[in-house]
Amino acid sequence: AQSVAQPEDQVNVAEGNPLTVKCTYSVSGNPYLFWYVQYPNRGLQFLLKYITGDNLVKGSYGFEAEFNKSQTSFHLKKPSALVSDSALYFCAVRDKSNTGKLIFGQGTTLQVKP
């Protein structure tokens, strides 16, 4: 079965420090991977995706993610965190059925302290 795991419920970082939000996946074949962010009382916003090609993917708001096939990981990173990055982050993988539905992880709350 396809699945996504986000092992950390919450990540705390100080403003200006680098941040990493972890994601591992389990899917047969080549995965299509995504990161979304959810601000309070808002819908999910797309950050970035990996479909194929370069393992380092750059996305919105200075975020990037590295696809690592051997470790089946797709960790989200940012070199210097901002207080405004505080939000709920979801990793997702596209289901193998021909519907485009996404399988989401449980989410990780990122808290950036000033």
φ, ψ of residue 20 to 5 degrees: the values are: -135, 130
In this complex, which beta carbon is closest to another protein, that of residue 70 or of residue 97? 97
Which of residues 19, 103, 110, 112 is near another protein by CB under 8 A? 103
CB 17 within 8 A of CB 111: no
The span from the CA of 89 to the CA of 10, in Å, is: 10
Element (DSSP H or E) covering residue 58: strand 56-58
φ, ψ of residue 62 to 5 degrees: the values are: 80, 5
Which residue do the tokens 């485009």 mark? 100
Residue 12-51 contact track with another protein, rule CB under 8 A, x = bound: --------------------x-x-x----xxxxxx--x-x
78 binds another protein (CB under 8 A): no
The piece of 22-30, 68-76, 79-87, 104-112 that touches another protein (CB under 8 A) is 104-112
106 binds another protein (CB under 8 A): yes
Q: What are the residues binding another protein (CB under 8 A)? A: 32, 34, 36, 41-46, 49, 51, 90, 92, 94-95, 97-107
